[in-house]
């Protein structure tokens, strides 16, 4: 598969995640008066990370129209990607710090940040022609990693309210069964 094929799929998947997240959020939060900060931060992560991945996928395709060499394109987009993904890591950390209190969630988000940090380092190395030689691989892997986070947060947004409803129903049925 050519890098341009991966990039086109990245744009399509990114826009689909952002759109479906908006639809789900509209229905989930329309009847609630109290919305938790964690839900809003998770939704923000989905939308912003999806749009970031869409932009990151479109940027090399736009640069191809200027008839630049492949090495120049991958060097430029790797440098821009390192800055954007690094900035996004900072924004996620700043928003999630007050929300994440459980040890398991701290470990999860710390792992996400650690992998994203490694991707930023790989992008910097690719831009500098060190270890990676201005190749599409590290850049495309960074987009896939970003969409992996979006997928996880999307699943969480979709399934968390359902599991909450199941727990409430199960806890209500346990006292009734014990009294029989």
For the segment 89-103, what is each residue's pLDDT rounded down to a tens digit? 888 888 777 777 788
Report pLDDT digits (tens) over 9-37: 999 999 999 998 888 877 777 666 677 77
Numbers of helices and strands, H then E, in the chain? 5, 0
Q: What region does 130 belong to: left with phi over 0, alpha with psi -120 to 50, or beta?
A: beta
Could you tell me the pTM of the whole model?
Answer: 0.84
Report pLDDT digits (tens) over 54-82: 999 999 999 999 999 999 999 999 999 99
Report pLDDT digits (tens) over 105-118: 888 888 888 999 99
Distance CA 45, CA 100 (A): 14
């Amino acid at each position: 598969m050519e890098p341009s094929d991966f990039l086109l799929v990245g744009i399509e998947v990114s826009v689909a995640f952002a759109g479906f997240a908006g639809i789900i959020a509209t229905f989930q939060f329309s009847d609630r008066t109290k919305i938790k900060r964690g839900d809003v931060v998770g939704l923000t992560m989905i939308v912003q990370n999806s749009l970031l991945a869409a932009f990151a996928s479109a940027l090399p395709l736009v640069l191809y129209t200027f008839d630049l060499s492949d090495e120049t394109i991958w060097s430029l987009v790797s440098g821009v990607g390192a800055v954007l993904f690094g900035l996004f890591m900072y924004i996620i950390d700043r928003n999630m710090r007050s929300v994440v209190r459980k040890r398991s969630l701290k470990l999860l988000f710390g792992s996400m940040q650690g992998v994203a940090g490694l991707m930023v380092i790989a992008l910097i190395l690719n831009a500098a022609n060190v270890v990676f030689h201005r190749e599409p691989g590290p850049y495309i892997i960074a987009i896939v990693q970003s969409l992996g986070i979006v997928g996880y947060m999307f699943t969480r947004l979709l399934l968390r309210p359902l599991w909450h409803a199941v727990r409430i129903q199960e806890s209500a049925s346990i006292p009734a069964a014990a009294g029989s």
